[in-house]
Structure 1
Amino acid sequence: MKTLRLLLVTALWITLCTGFYSCSKDLESVPLDYMGGTDTDKEFANYGITDFKDIEMRSCSGIDDNTGDYRWGQANFAGLRKNHLWIASFDRDSKQKLAEWTDTKEFQKTRRIHIGYGEYKDVTISGIALRQIYSKANSFVAFVQLQGSNYGENLYIFKTPTSIKELKGIDYCSIQEWYKESILIGNCCYTLGGDTIAVFKEGFSGGSPLTSKLISYTEDIIAYRANYSDAIYLTKYNYGSGEKEWNTEISELSKEPKDAKITISILDSSTNIWKYKADIVHYDGTKKDYTFSINIETGTIIGEELPISYANLKGTWNMTKCYGWEYNGDGVKEDWTEDVKGEYIFFESTHGNGGYFDGDDTSYFASSLQGNKLILENSNWLIGKSITITKLTATELHITATEASSVENYEMKKR
C-alpha cells in the first residue's frame, strides 16, 4: 500500500496585529506527495471515510501537531473522486465533520498556464491538499492547494447554499473570521459568498496588542504597548486607510514598570463608552488592577478610576451634589437631593489627615483605609456612619455614608 506524505509548510505566517498575516508565494517548496509519516489509508478510515480507495491523489493534513497546518485543530482531507475535486474537514478532537464537498465540474489535471510576457506552458497537477476550511451558517470557505512539477496554485472556494465561487491568484494566506460573518484573506475582507467588502491598506504596527475588538469591517479598537516607549495606548485603527483615527495614552498604565505584565479586558462595550479593566502583575509578584472608560468615538478618557489610596486622595475635593434618603418624624422614608456649593473635604497627606469645611467651620479628622472603606477618626463629620468610596478618578470622588436610618451620597470634584 502506497503511503502518501505531506511536509509541514515552512512559510509560517507572521502576526502583524489582531488578524493580519503576511502571505507566502513559496508554493514549490511544499511537496504535496509527502505526508510526514502518516498512513493516509489509516487516517481516512480513522475519520469514518471508508470509501477512499477510489479517491486519487488523496492527502490528509493537520491530523497531529507534526503534519500540515495543525494550528486550526482540523483534520483535512482532499483528492479526486471520479475526477472531481473532493474535500472533507473534521474537528481534530471530536472528529465531528465540519464540511464535505464534491465539485460538480470535472477536474483538469493538465492545463495551460500563462507564465508572463505572452508565453504559456503546460502543467500537470499531481498533488492536492486542503489546507484550511472555515464553516459557518451552512456555508464554508476552503483553502485548497494544487501542485505539479515546478508549479503551485492556491485556490479559495466559497460555497453557500445557493452559490459557488472560486478565487485564484492569491498568495498563501490563512482564512480568518472577521466582522459580522465576514472573513479575511490577506488584505481583503470577503463575504462568505466571495464578494469583496473592503481592501485594507495595511495592518496595525508600532506596538504589541494587548486586546482588540472590531467595530466595523475596517475599524478596530486596539489596546497596545508602544514599541518605542513601552507606554500603553488605546487607538481606533482604520485598516482601510492604514491610519489611527485617534490614539490615547492610558497614563496610569504607562507609569507601571516596563517589566510589569499587563493584561487588558473589556468589561462593557454596549454603548460608545467602553469600560476596561487592566490586571497588573509586578516582577516581585505584587498584583493590582485598574479600571477606566473611554469614548470610542472621540478617544476621550471618561473618569479614569484610580486605586483607592491616600496618594490618590490627597488634595481638596469640592462637593457638587448630595442625595440620599432618611426617615422623617412620622417614620416615612423620604428621598432627597441638593446641589452643594462652598463645602469641601481635603486630605493633607498620605497618612489620612484631613478635614471637612461646611461653609463656615472646618472639622478636622484622622482616617484609615480598609479597601474601599474610609474610616474617620476624631471627626464630627459623618460620625457613626459607614463610609464607602464608590468612585475615585483623577478628577472625581464619590462616597456613600450609611446607617440604619439614612443613606447620604456625596459627589465631589477635585480642585
Structure 2
Amino acid sequence: MSILKKYTGWFVLGTLIFYLLSVTQSISVLIPTLLAWCANSAMWHTLAPSAKRQVSWLMGIGIAALLFAGTQGVWIPWQQVLAVNLPMLAMFVAVSFLDLTSSKDESRPLPKGLGAIFNTAIGVHLLGAVINLSVIMVFADRMKGAIKLTPVQQFILTRNFAAAAWWSPFFVATGIALIYAPGMQWGKTFIPGAMMALTAIVFSSIDAYRRTKGDFIGYPIRRESLFIPLFMATAIIVLHFLWPDISILVLICLLAPSASILLMRTTSRRESLFLFVNQKLPLIGSQFALFLAAGIFSNGISAIILSYPQFFNLDSFTFGPILFSLTLASMIIVGLVGVHPVVSIAIASPMLLPLNPDPTELGFLFLSAWAISAGSSGLTGLGLLMTSRYHIPTKDIVTNSAFYAIFMWLLCSLVSGIFL
C-alpha cells in the first residue's frame, strides 16, 4: 500500500493516458481500469468518514445485487461493472489540469453593490464551467476575508457554479449524462442548457440584491481571467462541429491537458507538472471512489431490473413531459436529503431506458437534476463544502434556495417540452 500511496498521482494520470490509448483500440480497456482501481485504493485514506460510508454502502448494495441477480441467471460483463464510468474519470483527470491555468488575485479591493453581484455570479459560472470546483474555494476564500461567508454569498457561488452543468462540456455532469443516456447529442442540449444557466444567474442575482439591498461584497473578477474558460469552451464546440464522430469526452481528454500545459504561467513547466501530478492529482480521491462505486451500484440496479422485469415494467408509461417533470422533481428531492446526483442518475437510467426515451431529452433531465440539486442542497458535494469549510448551516442552504429549486424545476419542465 505504501508503494501505491507514493505513486498515487501517476496512477491517476495513467488512467487518463491509457484510457485514450484504449479508445484507439491499441490496448485493452483492462489496463486503465486496473489503474483507476489502484488509484482508488491509494486515495482511500484521504476520504472523509462520511464519504467512506456512502461509497461503502453503494459498493456493498451493488455487489449484493449483482450476486443475487447472478443466482437468477443474470450476469453483467466485468467491463460494464468495473469500467462503466472510466470515460468520465478520464475526463475528470483531464479537467483537473485546468487548475494549472488559474491564478489568485489578492491585491485588488473587493467590489460592492449590484455590479459586484452580477460580476461574481458570471465569473464563478464561466470559470467554474471549465476549471471546476477549485474556483469555488478561490472565490469564497477571497470574499469572506476576515469575516464569515454570508448565506447570500454562498448561494450566489453554489447556484451559479452548479448551473454550468446545464451546458458546459467540461462539467462532470455532462460526462455522466453522456454515459447514462446513450446516444445523447450534447449539441442539442447546449442552447436550452445555456438558457437555463442564464436564467439561474439572473434569478440568483436579483434574489441576492433583494435580500441585501445591494450591501454585497463580491469577487474582483478580471476580464483577462475569463479568456481561458471562453477559449476552451469555444474550442470544444468548434472541434465537436468539425469532428462530430469523436465523442465530447475524448475531445476534452485531449484538449484540456494540452491547452493547460501551453497556457500555464510558470517559470518551469516541468517542475510545475511534477508538483501537480504528485500533490494535486492525489487529492481527487473522493471523485474516483464515488464514481467507481456508482458504476457498481448502477449495474446492480440494472441486474435486479433484468431479473424481475415484471416488477419494474413501465410499459404503461411514455417518456413525455409529465414523466420528465415527475422524475426531475424526485431527483431534486432526493438530492436535497443528501443523495448525490450521480447516484440518482444511476438509479433512474436503467428504469427509464426500457421506455426508449429520446436520448437527448433523457440527458437534459440528468443535467437539470444535477444543476438544481447540487446548487440548492446542503448535503451533496457543494453543500458539504460550504458547511464544513465556511460554516454555513445546512438548514440555511436549503431554505434559501427552496423557491429557486421549485422555479427552476418548473422552468426545466417547460423548456424540455418546448425544445426537446
User: Same-fold call, TM > 0.5?
Assistant: no
Higher-Rg structure is: 1
Q: Which has the higher contact order (CA 8 A, sep 6+)?
A: 2
Which of the pair is proportionally richer in strand?
Answer: 1
Q: Shorter-chain TM-score: what band? A: under 0.3
Which of the pair is proportionally richer in helix?
Answer: 2
